[in-house]
Structure 1
């Protein structure tokens, strides 16, 4: 196992969603993906039930099919009022950043099926009840993020996206998933171009921090 020379804080602040810089033509060793998932399995899960399952899709035809569903979902998203480029159109500081995000979303939307490895963390759950579902998804999302961190530490880029879930049923049928397996997120994984990443701009802490109440 060879990892990059990153401090814990570097790893946490420079693990970015990578879209335009994914190397689409460079294969990723299966052993490297397995290492990342092994790390992810150390994440917490509700009552330590560990009812997670991990789909790793490398078959070109299946990647292409998932990519087509993703492309359709991205197209709908970019036409919506909430698309990144328009949501902050009146904010001179944030608008340019969000426009770049929208551009990179569109870029990946056309190429998702070409990414060498698609990873879909799933959760085994009988039903999704009404109301707050934090306890349910809290049993898989920390592990999914741990996978992204492990991938970053090994020189791989990932993108965190859930737009494919518009077609969750179709993708479940494509991959032969049992009815009680629900998809949580889609993590395209590849080597990336360039040297490294830097922390992203975020809201000032004083704008979002609340101590002992709102």
Structure 2
């Protein structure tokens, strides 16, 4: 196993959503993926309820099936409330001039080539949040999100690129059928493409000033 020579701060600030620089030709060893999951399951979780699961799809036929469901999901219109963007949303999205152009180009590449990505990782959690209270939702997502972020950090440190996507969630029942998941008992959180990256020289992103999002003692 080769781990990149990154400080903790470098790892945290250069783990990007990788779309354009995923190497579609180079296989990803199962051992590397297992190491990333080994670290992911060390993530903190409330009440020590380790209800996470990671379904890793490497079989070419099943990858294609899952990618087809994901693409169908991406073609499913969002409801108006989910799709709505505020003026602040738009300003932040375009804070770095050409960043959105790269984002759209990356999404287009994923759309066309998702089935070719060597590994598709579907993080899941036992239980569903439909109709749950805000506390129930927070407890569920507050458990799975740290585990997935740990997986993504572990992947970056090993020269792998990842990207959080959610097309499968718009067709979650269909994705569950492809994966053999018990839909009523297990909820999918995302679909994470995983591949070696073309180069490892990722840099911190240009973001809006911290002063816009940092609040001391009150809003």
Question: Does the alignment reach a TM-score above 0.5?
Answer: yes
Structure 2 CA distance for partners of 1:159 and 1:72, relative to 1, 3 Å = same
Contact 1:159 1:188 in 2 (8 A): yes
Structure 2 CA distance for partners of 1:182 and 1:207, relative to 1, 3 Å = same
Indicate the SS of the match to 2:124: strand
Indicate the SS of the match to 1:88: helix
Contact 1:74 1:105 in 2 (8 A): no
| RMSD, aligned α-carbons | 2.3
Matched with 2:37 is 37
How far the C-alpha of 1:48 sits from its partner, in A, is 0.4
1:213 to 2:215 alignment: no
Contact 2:19 2:106 in 1 (8 A): yes
Gaps of 5+ in 1: none
How far the C-alpha of 1:82 sits from its partner, in A, is 5.9
Matched with 2:200 is 195
Aligned residues: 210
The residue correspondences of 1:10-21 to structure 2 (distance < 5 A) are 10-21=10-21
TM, length-normalised to structure 1: 0.90
Q: Within 1, Cα distance between the matches of 2:47 and 2:116? A: 38
Q: Within 2, Cα distance between the matches of 1:71 and 1:212? A: 44
Q: Within 2, Cα distance between the matches of 1:68 and 1:186? A: 13
Contact 1:74 1:106 in 2 (8 A): no
Matched with 2:143 is 139
Matched with 1:154 is 158
Indicate the SS of the match to 1:211: coil
Cα deviation code 1:16-36 (max 9, x no counterpart): 011111111111110110000
How far the C-alpha of 1:75 sits from its partner, in A, is 3.9
Structure 2 CA distance for partners of 1:90 and 1:165, relative to 1, 3 Å = closer
Structure 2 CA distance for partners of 1:91 and 1:47, relative to 1, 3 Å = closer
How far the C-alpha of 1:109 sits from its partner, in A, is 1.2
